[in-house]
Structure 1
């Protein structure tokens, strides 16, 4: 088998076989296929596409290129959740303990962030003492006892995907639905979950800017999951503006705690409840979505979900007192107000620019080597549709260092107009 023949076959619009896809993925991972040939194959896939069978086989080949977790020692249906990413997206901090409080095991691997804010691991590490390095025995024990454990992503989890993604990034082949879908799903398959709920973000602050393309991606990932024996549901949720009010690691933990206490912003609570409801239905805790949502709402109101979060934090070395008293979480030295220049209605908030403002303050990483400042970030005090007068505070910056660039970026994110904008749904669709 020769790579040049496979490139030509795909270029000419033909489907690759399971054996051929395995040859490509193994060869590139092991270094026997050079970058220039893999670049040509990726461009051929970008231009011609892949059918469902090819996409599933590519997913499986990438998943099997490294470690595949065996979670058989954990009782019950293991359910995982993945978000395609957005600004202020701290739903994992809420959904994981909420689902666990219903008795459904959540054995989660999460990564650190590269971009506007930290990833789930970074947010949790803003809690004093919290550790994401657990032995396999600790990980399994915690899930069996608490129904929840979270570790950092293994360096050898789907290494083919990591190598291929780096090449896609420099060959203009990132925005290809079969490649995006197989990249996401390969890590989920390798992580060992029995069922998967996907939160596919749509809008200015998301990778997928419009509902049509987001739906295509969601449908592709659901088909991959099913073809590989995983129950899979995808939720299309809005990311035209940040989710919730907090952008920044410790601030996002505080906001997640507020939701787990039964409060918090309506949009964040509603999206979290929807994701958790689908997860608990897949996990067998409830017969349908409506029953699940009602039961999970009760878990928030009773404090059961918050107590599960505190137990989870303590089991991983964190200071659970910071969960019960979130004012003890890191705080920045000063607050800087962004005031409205004119009266009117908030027409639009560019989520990506808000995220960049937080990164400029130190809440995210521009390179992998950057250190995150857990205390800094942004709090939105006005969101889309809100009425404002000139001089009203639109947002607060929490800063420890220079803030002028962050303030300028945040100012450019807001657009004030004379009329309230048409309301957008929080959830556009559910694919199952």
Structure 2
């Protein structure tokens, strides 16, 4: 058996690791017989040299098998589903989609993660709700699914423990965008969930990990191949990520927009992703016969209030006090429950015209620096930090009206950051007719439209 330094050297030098060598690395992480610096070195070697399809499959399967793999009652066969996003700005799709799917007779054991790099994390958003407990044992997850139909939890000591360790180190070692590591992280968790169907929202654009459609498509095809290789029926959606999804960015603010969406007041771009991802999953489970039918069914679950009821039940099942959950789901005074920032400032529009672009990456990076994200593993974040977009792409706007409300505490935004935010808003002074485009550009494999 080769030593860990030998394995790191082999990958560093571009050699293909055998199944046994990959399992040796997985076992060392599982048994805590490897130093953190060695794990970081291996992650960097994988980032630099990549992995073959076979290596990626072995890595993913080993990570999945490093802990407990869930099992479900026979009567749930074919109905256990999930969705995963590669990360975006204002991406709150899971908070709306999971309860909508539960309202459509699906079981959704969603194992989510924290923020990586500039992208927000689903768990961080939900933890802005006082009492929300992301730590649930497999037996507790099954109990919640039986009574509610959905849960959104974190990785525990028993579920994919290797990924829980590597996930945090990827952020700290700047290896977030490694294709085989993304594969291993995403699909291992979904494999441990014992899913029947999975839809992946793979984003591309300025505010995504992958900037162009070609590289995102490569990732999507790889993820689909890995997922199907583990026996999960897997489809990927390729969606644009240049600006933001919806108008709210930041943990507690995104919870507010999710609740508004579940009350039937959601923005079109968010609902497009919710209905497309949800519609695909209903199609894969056989719940509907056409994608359009699936989209309609998910939309109806949201607008009817059925998904909101599931969301409230999920909050209560995961530790939120009943009166708090009821307040969030029946009132609009959200700050009776959620933390509100001490300060806010509004940025003004600098000329008349039409909004043709908003740089989501710039906004996310500045919010990260103001405390909405973390720069080191385990660092606390400020759930109240965020931003509200007061305009949308295509809006005709007038000079001196506010376009962004920035919520902050300590540190306060600098003059340079304010200037960067002002430059992130692009306004055309000409009589521009802005043509709004769908976020979803392609589905892998094709033919699902």
Bin for the TM-score computed over the shorter chain: 0.7 to 0.9
Report how far residue 88 of structure 1 moved: 0.4
Distance in 1, Cα, partners of 2:63 & 2:26: 7
Residue 352 of structure 2 corresponds to 343
Equivalent residue for 2:162, pick from 160, 163, 166: 160
Cα pair distance change 1:78/1:386, threshold 3 Å: same
Residue 390 of structure 1 corresponds to 399
* Range with greater deviation from structure 2 (11-20 or 333-342): 11-20
Distance in 2, Cα, partners of 1:35 & 1:250: 33
Distance in 1, Cα, partners of 2:150 & 2:332: 21
Distance in 1, Cα, partners of 2:376 & 2:50: 32
Q: How many residues align?
A: 432
Report how far residue 66 of structure 1 moved: 3.1
Q: Secondary structure at the match of 2:393?
A: coil
Distance in 1, Cα, partners of 2:263 & 2:216: 32
* Range with greater deviation from structure 2 (202-211 or 391-400): 391-400
* Range with greater deviation from structure 2 (201-210 or 213-222): 201-210
Distance in 2, Cα, partners of 1:209 & 1:237: 11
Report if aligned partners of 1:116, 1:363 keep a CA contact under 8 Å in 2.
no
Cα pair distance change 1:306/1:173, threshold 3 Å: closer
Equivalent residue for 1:89, pick from 55, 70, 91: 91
Residue 236 of structure 1 corresponds to 238
Report if aligned partners of 1:273, 1:297 keep a CA contact under 8 Å in 2.
yes
Residue 257 of structure 2 corresponds to 255
Cα pair distance change 1:282/1:253, threshold 3 Å: same
Report if aligned partners of 1:117, 1:358 keep a CA contact under 8 Å in 2.
no
Report matched runs for 1:20-31 at 5 Å.
Answer: 20-27=21-28, 29-30=30-31
Report if aligned partners of 2:370, 2:413 keep a CA contact under 8 Å in 1.
no
CA RMSD, 1 decimal? 3.1
Distance in 2, Cα, partners of 1:30 & 1:316: 30
Distance in 1, Cα, partners of 2:298 & 2:400: 40
| TM-score, L = length of structure 2 | 0.85
Distance in 2, Cα, partners of 1:399 & 1:46: 35
Report how far residue 48 of structure 1 moved: 5.1
Report if aligned partners of 1:202, 1:211 keep a CA contact under 8 Å in 2.
yes
Cα pair distance change 1:47/1:251, threshold 3 Å: closer
Residue 2 of structure 2 corresponds to 2
Equivalent residue for 1:325, pick from 326, 331, 335: 331
Q: Is 1:428 aligned to residue 441 of structure 2?
A: yes
| TM-score, L = length of structure 1 | 0.88
Cα pair distance change 1:10/1:254, threshold 3 Å: closer
Report if aligned partners of 1:117, 1:365 keep a CA contact under 8 Å in 2.
no
Residues 74-97 of structure 1 deviation map (CA, whole Å, 9 limit, x = unaligned): 834211111111110011110000
* Range with greater deviation from structure 2 (295-304 or 268-277): 295-304
Cα pair distance change 1:38/1:298, threshold 3 Å: closer
Q: Gaps spanning 5+ residues in structure 2: where?
A: none
Report matched runs for 1:276-425 at 5 Å.
Answer: 276-318=278-320, 319=324, 320-329=326-335, 330=338, 331-401=340-410, 403-405=412-414, 407-419=418-430, 420=432, 423-425=436-438
Cα pair distance change 1:370/1:326, threshold 3 Å: farther
Report if aligned partners of 2:371, 2:381 keep a CA contact under 8 Å in 1.
yes
Report if aligned partners of 1:104, 1:285 keep a CA contact under 8 Å in 2.
no
Report matched runs for 1:95-106 at 5 Å.
Answer: 95-106=97-108
Distance in 2, Cα, partners of 1:40 & 1:15: 16
Report how far residue 155 of structure 1 moved: 4.1
Q: Secondary structure at the match of 2:265?
A: coil
Residues 224-280 of structure 1 deviation map (CA, whole Å, 9 limit, x = unaligned): 011110111111111100100001222211211222222221111111111111222
Report how far residue 379 of structure 1 moved: 0.5
Report if aligned partners of 2:59, 2:184 keep a CA contact under 8 Å in 1.
yes
Distance in 2, Cα, partners of 1:415 & 1:278: 34
Q: Secondary structure at the match of 2:145?
A: helix
Q: Gaps spanning 5+ residues in structure 1: where?
A: none
Report if aligned partners of 1:205, 1:351 keep a CA contact under 8 Å in 2.
yes
